[in-house]
Structure 1
């Protein structure tokens, strides 16, 4: 009994001390909480925030032997320490001390050499170049970054491998905006599948090809058809190449020229049009890149729309297709191919190796006897476009503070593009399905199968996109953009950034053969880097946003340029197959045209626009120079009688 009383007294005493000690401690050392990055880079500035009572004067941050002052933020009781740096790597003790030197709070961070932060994207690019495969390259980049984010050790390698999927890829999929982009892209791919299977796409083809009566008109019609099927580059390539091949053979247009027109309209128009299978991917990677940029409030869709004006290569590539088609002139190997076709009717080079069946796209080819009604493709596309535009306007109107005085650009800038794109893609699919089933062109089962076939064509791109999102998160954790800014910001002129981006994107796409893979690798780096360079030069204001728009466009444009020049490009290979052209002959004849347009776009458009030249001036100058080049170096190709049968239209 005496023992129990003794224990009760001791317990009460301890409780009393516990109740009174915080008050005493609070009087001597005010409570504080410090927030600092878990991983920092040597020589690269970082910030810390401290939550402490508002009357805590003289607070400082101690890093090793150095101390830095804190400034009270507007959001009391928060204090900030900005521009802090550590000189060496390893564990870093970060402490908050008061005026008397007492430690109020402390935490530990890990410092890495700055160059390590660029390893994940560099390794991704290097592996893509070496093995010509984007998915393993992106995955390895994410894996290396995950290891660096934990620690470089045997346990860190194991944990990094698990985090690659469980943390970074999962986060990429779990994000609501990312999921919206994936659903939109899959749905629009499904719509393309339905309107291909129900004969609607071929109906558009029939309308356009009725105009072709000679070689010049045949080339122009082929180019117009390439513009008309703007919603997907793969569908564009397969439909235009396979459909126009018999027409161009009859008109004595070389297979090399057909493949060039097909290839040079497919990707450029798909990356420029604002409702395509590309748009979800493009907006998705731009949105991820701008998500963590302070001070930039524009939506990803608004940035994309503004960047179109600075997409000099795709715009000039489309222009040059029609100039060449309408001029009766060609130069380089293309001139020899066209002269051979006109004068001998031999549309293929001697010894050409072709596999025409490989480009037929049998899975989405309409059944024999399927009616070719153009409106079965036109109506769903119109519904898609109108729905997206209406959704942008509606969501933007709901978001602006004063709808009555808001301008159209302000409304679109505030719009929820994810909602608009999902609404439009859903309505487009439903209308395409209703037209197919309602006219009994396809059964419900066939419609679903066609939708699924179109959807499957997008799966590989979605895998690339998810891994690109994961790599973007890794570069944010490792502060890659901040390191690049610290290295490049002092000497790289802000106006030169778009040109450098254009060349880098072109080189990567040329070596990897993938526009989408190049965009996925580079966009997460380019956007934060461009913004940081602008900020370092005091140019991060709307007057200089054209540099940001141009940099975004240069990732896309450079990717397409490199894709056009690359013999391993998926669209280049598909263009050769769909056109029934020897692949090497296609690359050899297209390369001089793509290089000419690319250099003009870089030197006359991208570079001057970065330093303030209005975009339209660069575009007009580029058009004039390309027209002049064709006039000076182009050789006139005679137009043969279309009634003369080609001497040879196939060779294998």
Structure 2
């Protein structure tokens, strides 16, 4: 039945291309205007197929293929040639995605951290950490709270969060019989949501830069970082999602597919759905000498990863700023190299993909030397373990490449532009922030990128909010906050988002199972963000009154919808 449905979806998509033809000059002016809603076909196909087949690679490939066919067909090509040329174009998109320095850095970072984790595991470090944490984690409540706390501590980058917390907490979580879907959710919910609002992170430069550019476009000079700080109380989704994790962890209350996953883990002992394939290459690494297993075999390499990441963010960002055109900022960094402003600006200007790869490589060398000096393995064996650890994450690299390629196809089709055009020219001020939040969520869910969504909406949101309520700076700040948090909401829920992919990989969960269980939670928190957050704010209610109300609504929702599932107790 599933196979028939899959092929029906593919064939239906192909035939949708046939009714219209558009001349080349019309395509060149604006493809999104020419084909309208058909720009949504690639992400819709990819997402539907992912849920139907649970095969992410196939789903992303078909999504890309449908997009390349659309572009070929609307370039005055017949359908057969469109199919042929569209297939050939797929290779170009994948090659271009791999050739992008940022993407290449992420792939190298992911694989290198995979090798590092393999070394740590083989030295017994992961086992020792798990045993140590297990003594503190007396049950599923404390295990989840510790996972949440680790996610908060690694606030500086969402990728590092997903890649570090999962392998550390997975053995502890497994011992408490917590489903891998639940672990993936806790990891994912403390990745982008905390990195997006952290005072210093790899996100900060991009977010502050967008705010500054948007204000300059309407002729206003502002302290962009100050505006960023003012948006934090309006980042309802980020704040409420962090609260939601704590409340559900403390009460053990679940609802929807997550409740079923937790009940499955409790009743059958199956941490993952036996009908689902875990695409992460999750394999047990042999501990070479259990008697020499030490917590320091994990703490030193992972601590090195964090320390060298911080140093790398500073040095890389500093170099970028000093070689740039902003002489005032360069002077500030030179005069006050360790000030908060300098650290903030250097972190924001750094290339996180390269820095984390470099830090992971140095940490891998440290782990390798530690293993050799402890006579756990020789250099040849250590390198073999490291390479095998990289191999286990090869499928993650493939999924990321396909997700980025799909994003490129949608960028050329103008998917985001079409969605933005749906906003219309007139909108009641009271609905602006809510609509921006929803539109940001739809775009980032469809494209799998929060950065891209922020870049599209911020230049529109601030001028529009200023025009609708010219004398109300809080209204403009609220709208900017809606852009930033709406983008994270959609990205957090999307099966083609890199952070979603990495979180499921780190937890050892099936990607689609992770999305299916997480999506209702994201929608619930997103709904509260609108109903109890953005609508009252737009009506003029004070933000410091609204925040406690949203907290109360989130807690009430957990108790109303949720039912307690203690995975350590048999039903």
TM-score normalised to the size of structure 1? 0.58
Distance, in Å, in 1 between the alignment partners of 2:31 and 2:152 is: 49
Distance, in Å, in 1 between the alignment partners of 2:203 and 2:458 is: 17
Q: Report Cα offsets for 1:448-468 as digits up to 9, x if no partner.
A: 332444465233213311331
SS at match of 2:70: helix
Structure 1: unaligned runs, 5 residues or longer: 1-88, 93-107, 250-254, 510-514
SS at match of 2:327: coil
Identify the match of residue 490 of structure 1 among 412, 421, 425.
Answer: 425
Distance, in Å, in 2 between the alignment partners of 1:619 and 1:271 is: 20
Aligned residue for 1:466? 405
Aligned residue for 2:247? 323
Distance, in Å, in 2 between the alignment partners of 1:529 and 1:492 is: 15
Query: Structure 1 91/272 Cα, relative in aligned 2: closer, same or farther at 3 Å?
Result: closer
Aligned residue for 2:9? none
Identify the match of residue 547 of structure 1 among 476, 479, 486.
Answer: 479
Query: Structure 1 602/559 Cα, relative in aligned 2: closer, same or farther at 3 Å?
Result: farther
Aligned residue for 1:116? 34
Distance, in Å, in 1 between the alignment partners of 2:516 and 2:79 is: 46
SS at match of 2:414: helix
Aligned residue for 1:186? 108
SS at match of 2:245: helix
SS at match of 2:289: coil
How many Å apart are 1:426 and its aligned residue?
A: 0.9
How many Å apart are 1:402 and its aligned residue?
A: 1.6
How many Å apart are 1:322 and its aligned residue?
A: 1.9
Larger-Rg structure: 1
- What pairs up with 1:521-600 in 2 under 5 angstroms? 524=452, 527-529=455-457, 531-532=459-460, 534-535=462-463, 544=476, 547-561=479-493, 595-600=523-528
SS at match of 1:491: coil
Identify the match of residue 431 of structure 1 among 338, 357, 363.
Answer: 363
Query: Structure 1 215/623 Cα, relative in aligned 2: closer, same or farther at 3 Å?
Result: same
Q: Which moved more, 1:236-245 or 1:312-321?
A: 236-245
Query: Structure 1 326/243 Cα, relative in aligned 2: closer, same or farther at 3 Å?
Result: closer
Aligned residue for 1:369? 289
Q: Report Cα offsets for 1:84-105 as digits up to 9, x if no partner.
A: xxxxx9798xxxxxxxxxxxxx
Query: Structure 1 495/322 Cα, relative in aligned 2: closer, same or farther at 3 Å?
Result: same
Identify the match of residue 117 of structure 2 among 190, 195, 211.
Answer: 195
SS at match of 2:136: coil
Query: Structure 1 232/537 Cα, relative in aligned 2: closer, same or farther at 3 Å?
Result: closer
How many Å apart are 1:617 and its aligned residue?
A: 6.4
Aligned residue for 2:43? 125
The answer to whether the 8 Å contact 2:316/2:346 transfers is: no
The answer to whether the 8 Å contact 2:109/2:356 transfers is: no
Identify the match of residue 385 of structure 2 among 446, 456, 469.
Answer: 446
Identify the match of residue 603 of structure 1 among 509, 514, 531.
Answer: 531
How many Å apart are 1:211 and its aligned residue?
A: 1.1
Distance, in Å, in 2 between the alignment partners of 1:336 and 1:168 is: 39
Aligned residue for 1:35? none
Query: Structure 1 354/156 Cα, relative in aligned 2: closer, same or farther at 3 Å?
Result: closer
The answer to whether the 8 Å contact 1:216/1:326 transfers is: yes
How many Å apart are 1:192 and its aligned residue?
A: 3.9
Aligned residue for 2:13? none
Identify the match of residue 622 of structure 1 among 540, 550, 556.
Answer: 550
Identify, as 1 or 2, the structure richer in strand: 1
> Which has the higher relative contact order, 1 or 2, with Cα contacts under 8 A spaced 6 or more apart?
2
How many Å apart are 1:530 and its aligned residue?
A: 5.2
Distance, in Å, in 2 between the alignment partners of 1:315 and 1:329 is: 19
Number of aligned pairs?
A: 499
Distance, in Å, in 1 between the alignment partners of 2:367 and 2:303 is: 11
Structure 2: unaligned runs, 5 residues or longer: 1-21, 51-58, 334-338
- What pairs up with 1:127-206 in 2 under 5 angstroms? 127-132=45-50, 133-145=59-71, 147-148=73-74, 150-151=75-76, 157=82, 161=86, 164=89, 178-199=100-121, 200-206=125-131
Q: Report Cα offsets for 1:184-241 as digits up to 9, x if no partner.
A: 4422442243134423445443333221235643443454456567725476556534
Q: Which moved more, 1:536-545 or 1:453-462?
A: 536-545
Identify, as 1 or 2, the structure richer in helix: 2
Confirm or deny that 1:401 pairs with 2:401: no
How many Å apart are 1:374 and its aligned residue?
A: 2.9
Distance, in Å, in 2 between the alignment partners of 1:282 and 1:152 is: 42
Distance, in Å, in 2 between the alignment partners of 1:432 and 1:395 is: 26
Confirm or deny that 1:347 pairs with 2:266: yes
Q: Report Cα offsets for 1:254-312 as digits up to 9, x if no partner.
A: x4xx556413312122224549xxx999999999x99x9996699x9999999887653
Distance, in Å, in 2 between the alignment partners of 1:493 and 1:607 is: 12
Identify the match of residue 243 of structure 1 among 172, 177, 184.
Answer: 172
Distance, in Å, in 2 between the alignment partners of 1:556 and 1:444 is: 38
The answer to whether the 8 Å contact 1:387/1:427 transfers is: yes
SS at match of 2:192: helix
Query: Structure 1 463/630 Cα, relative in aligned 2: closer, same or farther at 3 Å?
Result: closer
How many Å apart are 1:554 and its aligned residue?
A: 1.4
Distance, in Å, in 1 between the alignment partners of 2:350 and 2:366 is: 24
